[in-house]
Copies of this chain bind each other. A is one copy, B any other.
Amino acid sequence: MTDIFKIKELASTPVRVLVYEYLNEHQKALSLKYIESDLYDLDRSSIFRTLKTFVDHKIVHTIHDGSGSVKYALCQEGCNCDPSDLHFHFYCTTCEATYCLLDLPVPSVSLPTGFVISQANMVLSGLCNNCNS
């Protein structure tokens, strides 16, 4: 199940397992605050450092959606967090959910001379299907 830690060469610990499973169950991009409120018996800084470790090991990617807090979502298998591995996101301004639009890859753009890209943060926002009455 969570042999993801073997693959990513990372020690399996209680907090890491819980945070990983939590993200895996939800399949959405979640904020630290949100995760913390559900995994209330874990400490905030432990979750924070766990997420940071996950980012370093390319287990999760971050999304800056303008909501004021960083969102975290599990990477797809084989993701290297290069722009070509990444995708658009959608932030709903009503329910504040952030979705990974896995079907929408980041397009390759031609940058001005001398610019070298290493990351991408693509966020569309508006109303999601649940909130669009």
Residues of chain A touching chain B, judged by Cβ–Cβ distance below 8 Å, are 62, 64-66, 70, 83, 88, 90, 93, 101, 103-104, 107, 109, 111-130, 132
Name the CB-closest residue of B to A110: B104
List B contacts of A119 (CB < 8 A).
66, 93, 124-126
Cross-interface CB contact of A124 among B65, B109, B125, cutoff 8 Å: B109
Count of identical protomers in the assembly: 2
List B contacts of A111 (CB < 8 A).
90, 101, 124
List B contacts of A101 (CB < 8 A).
109, 111-112
Contact B109 A132 (CB under 8 A): no
Distance in angstroms from A85 CB to nearest chain B CB is 14
Distance in angstroms from A130 CB to nearest chain B CB is 8
Contact A129 B117 (CB under 8 A): no
Distance in angstroms from A68 CB to nearest chain B CB is 9
Contact A117 B121 (CB under 8 A): no
- Given the known interface contacts A64-B64, A64-B66, A66-B62, the answer about A118 and B126 at a Cβ–Cβ threshold of 8 Å is yes
Instruction: Identify 14 new A-B residue pairs, CB closer than 8 A, beyond the known A113-B129, A115-B126.
Output: A62-B66, A66-B121, A90-B117, A93-B118, A93-B119, A111-B124, A114-B129, A114-B132, A117-B125, A118-B126, A119-B124, A121-B123, A121-B125, A122-B122
